[in-house]
Amino acid sequence: MVAAPSLMEKTWTSDSGQFLAVEYDDTYLVYFKPSGDTHFLNFLSFGIVDAVSKTALSGTELHEKLKTDFSLTSSELPVALVTSTIGELDQAGLISSVDNSK
């Protein structure tokens, strides 16, 4: 079962060839080719999709990277927020776990 903690342990990836993104101020419209859905992402969610398209990262590594990239502290960017965002992005198919595709 996909329990909450394991999302942070899993390694995530995305394929930049599978989505189109247009930036408007700090929001992104992302067209995801496999599903044909258009997603409205804020900079944080898009930050996740974008980061793991370059290198596969675990949830914990992602959390660290986002804090550095956007100069946020752990209280400004709590683990729970990253976990739930990862969960939603996974549901939408925008990111996927490397462990799944073995």
Partner 1 sequence: MHKSALKQMAGVEPLPQKVMDRITLIRYADANHILGQMASAVIPEKDSRLEDIFRNARLRAEHDHRMLQFEMNRLEHALVGTGIEPIILKGGAYVALGRKASKGRRVSDLDILVSEDELEEVEARLKLAGWAADEATDNPYDQAYYRHHMHELPPLRHQKRGTVIDVHHLLLPKTAKSKIDVTTMRQSSVFLEGKRLKVFDNVDLFIHSAVHAFADGAIDTPARSLVELFMLYEELPERDAARLPARANEVGASTPVSIALWAIGRFFDVKNSTVHSKQMMGLKRYLVLRWAITSKTHDGPLAPLAKAFLYVRSHYLRMPLRLLIPHLARKAASWRPNSQKPIELPVP
Partner 2 sequence: MNTLARLGSYSRSDLRSALKQGTLTLHLGPFTHLVSGASNALLDFLSDTYRDYQVEMAPSDVTDVLLSLEAPNLLRRFVRRQITPNPGFKVPAVPLPIHMAPLAYEMGLNLSVALKCCRFINVHAGVVADDSGAIVMSAASGAGKSTLTAALLQHGYRLFSDEFALIGLDKPLLYPYPRPISLKQETISVVRDMVGDSWISETVTDTPKGDIAYYRARESDLAQDKTPTAAKLLLFPKFEKGARAMTHQLNPAEAIMRLVPASTNYSLLGEPAFHALTGLLKNIRAYEITYGSTTDSLRLVEQITGQKML
CB-nearer residue toward partner 2: 48 or 57:
48
Give me the amino acid identity at 77.
L
User: What are φ and ψ of residue 38, in 5° steps?
Assistant: -105, 125
Distance, CA of 37 to CA of 94 (rounded, Å): 10
* 20-25, Cβ contacts within 8 angstroms, sequence gap of 24 or more: 21/46, 21/50
Token duo for residue 55: 């290198």
- Minimum CB distance to partner 2, residue 85 (Å): 18
Asked if residue 17 binds partner 2 (CB under 8 A), the reply is no
- Minimum CB distance to partner 2, residue 23 (Å): 9
Asked if residue 3 binds partner 1 (CB under 8 A), the reply is no
Site pattern 35..64 for partner 1 (x: CB under 8 A): xx----------------------------
Site pattern 33..52 for partner 2 (x: CB under 8 A): x--xxx-x------------
